[in-house]
Structure 1
Amino acid sequence: NEARSKSKMTKYYNSRVRGVAFQPGNLVYRSNDASHAAAGGKLGPKWEGPYE
């Protein structure tokens, strides 16, 4: 029963997720969590960029 439930959740998740392919020259934002940005607290920026 647990395995069936897990399989159902996995199928639901995978049906809604889509892959992202970046090409050279695309502009992207980067999460501040990834770069350990200066403490801005709750009101600080969540993203940095855009980067090419």
Structure 2
Amino acid sequence: MNLDFVEEVRERASVRAAMYKARMAKAYNSRVRPRNFQVGDLVMRKAEASGPIGKLDSKWEGPYKVTEIVGTGAYKLQQMDGKNIPRTWNIANLKKYYS
């Protein structure tokens, strides 16, 4: 390999890596379903996110009511009897409750 072409080879590798990254992002974005909740929606939360669960325990707890949208993907929850849940919950640990 000639040292005169090192920069050219490095530039081609950089372009190929950027194209690969763009293809992977496009493939991921075509499969992912964006989720968001509005204030007042009923949601279920992952039981393992709040503490350890056993083999036969339910995987989801709830329903809970969304009381506040704290940030992108972060929500404050409230139990159905009106008690607030003490911390915020990420959207990765929530799913919509269908009654």
Structure 1-normalised TM-score?
A: 0.68
In the TM superposition, what is the alpha-carbon distance from 1:7 to its structure 2 partner? 3.5
- Where do residues 6-17 of structure 1 align in structure 2 (5 Å cutoff)? 6-17=21-32
The runs of 4+ residues in structure 1 deviating greater than 4 Å are: none
Number of residue equivalences: 50
| Structure 1 counterpart of 2:54 | 40
% identical equivalent positions: 52
Larger helix percent: 1
Larger strand fraction of residues: 2
Is there any run of 5+ residues in structure 2 with no aligned partner, and where? 1-12, 66-99
Question: Which structure has the higher relative contact order (CA within 8 Å, separation 6+)?
Answer: 1
* Separation of aligned partners in 1, 2:39 and 2:21: 37
Of structures 1 and 2, the larger Rg is shown by: 2
Instruction: Using the TM superposition, give the Cα deviation of residue 5 of structure 1 relative to its aligned residue in structure 2, in angstroms.
Output: 4.2
Q: Which runs of 5+ in 1 are unaligned?
A: none
* Aligned equivalent of 2:37, options 22, 34, 47: 22
Q: TM-score normalized by structure 2?
A: 0.41
